[in-house]
Amino acid sequence: MRSLKDAEPETTVVVKEITGGMDVKEYLAELGVTEGTEIEMVATEPVHVHRGPIALGTKDHDELIIARGWADKIYVEMGDETTPLIVLEEGDTGTVRSIEGGKDFEGFLSEYGIVEGSELTFLRHVPDCTIVVSSGGAEMRMGEGQASKIFATQDGRSIQLNHLKEGESSTVEKIVGGTHVMGKFEQIGLEEGSAITLLRKEIVAPVSDKGTYIRANVCGQHITIGHGLAEKVLVS
C-alpha cells in the first residue's frame, strides 16, 4: 500500500485504510472518502491552506459564507480556464460552469443565486473561528463552516447562523447537509425548530499560506485534499 499523496495523476486507486482519529475519518467521510472508495486522481496543485470557510459575493447577497468542502464542488470560469472555486484569489470573479454536489446541493445554492451562469466574487478567507451557541440549556461549540449549514429565522427571513450577532436568539429553520451532517447535529440535540442563541465567537488568525493539494474525483464529484490529510489515506 501507499499513501494517496503518492498516487500519480490520471490514475485510479482504491482506499484500503484510513489512519488517524475519528475527526479525520469523519471529515473524509463528508467528502465521500471511506475504506473501499475508488478515487480517480486528477491533479496535484498549490491552493490556499486554510481550515475555515470562505466568503462569497453574489448578485443577491453581499456576503454568503460557504464551507470549504462546498467550494470544492463549484467550478467557475475565469478567462479561458475552468477551475474549482477553492483556488481563486481574494477579489477574483468567475462565472459558475458546473456544480458537482448533486440535485439537493444545486437546489440549495440556487436559493442564493448560485447557479450555472451566475457570477461569484471570492471575497475573503474567513478566520478560523469557533462559534459558541446555547440551545436547550446546553452550550455547544462548532466551527464557522458547520454553523454556515444552520439557517435561522430573523425578521421573517432566513439567515446563516454565523450571521447572528453575539447575544441574538432565533429559531433553527433548516439544516443543510447530508446524513452525516444531520446525524452530527442530532447527537448534540440541535434540530429544526430548536431555539438557539449565539453566545460568542472565538476568532484566531486565519491561515493564508499556500500548500499542495490533491484534486480527485470521487463518485463523480471533484474534491481537494491537503497533502497532510492525504498521507493518512492508504490506497492500492
CA distance 165 to 160: 11
CATH number at residue 24: 2.30.30.90
What's the domain count of the chain? Answer: 3
- Domain check: are 80 and 147 in the same one? no
Rounded to whole angstroms, the Cα distance separating 32 from 174 reads 23
What is the phi/psi pair of residue 115, to 5°? Answer: -140, 170
Asked if residue 65 and residue 96 are part of one domain, the reply reads yes
Query: What does the pLDDT profile of the chain (236 residues) look like in tens digits?
Result: 899 988 888 899 999 999 977 878 887 887 789 999 999 988 776 655 555 688 999 887 788 888 777 787 888 998 877 878 877 888 999 999 988 777 777 877 887 788 999 999 999 888 767 899 999 888 999 888 788 888 898 888 888 898 899 999 999 998 877 677 777 788 888 889 999 999 998 876 555 455 567 778 888 777 777 777 888 899 99
Single out the residue in 91, 126, 161 at which a domain terminates: 126
Asked if residue 84 and residue 142 are part of one domain, the reply reads no
Give yes or no: residues 122 and 137 share one domain: no
Spatial distance between the Cα atoms of 229 and 178, rounded to a whole number of angstroms: 22
CA distance 193 to 167: 19
Query: Cα 86–91–92 angle (5° rounding)?
Result: 55
Amino acid at 215: R
Kindly report, residue by residue over 140-153, the tens digit of the pLDDT. 998 887 888 888 98
- Is residue 57 domain-shared with residue 88, that is, in the same domain? yes
**Joined grid coordinates for residue 98:** 458546473
Is the CB of residue 194 less than 8 Å from the CB of residue 135?
yes
**For every residue of 176-203, which 3-state class applies, written as one string?**
CCCHHHHHHHHHCCCCCCCEEEEEEEEE
28 with 77, same domain?
no
- Single-letter code of the amino acid located at 6: D
Q: pLDDT tens digits, residue range 98-117? A: 887 777 778 778 877 889 99
Question: How far apart are alpha carbons 47 and 212 in whole angstroms?
Answer: 6
- Domain holding 8, by residue range, is 2-47+211-235
Shared domain for 116 and 146, answered yes or no, is: no
Q: Please tell me whether residues 149 and 191 are part of one structural domain.
A: yes
- Mean of all residue pLDDT scores within the chain: 83
Q: Locate all alpha helices (DSSP H) within 42-93, ordered by sequence.
A: 68-71
Pair 63, 122 in one domain: yes
Contact 168, 108 (CB under 8 A): no
The secondary structure of the chain in percent helix, strand, coil, rounded to multiples of 5, reads 20, 45, 35
Same domain, 133 and 166: yes
The verdict on 75 and 31 lying in the same domain is no
**185 and 133, same structural domain?**
yes
The helix or strand, by DSSP H or E, that contains position 107, with its residue range, turns out to be helix 103-110
pTM of the predicted structure, to 2 decimals: 0.59
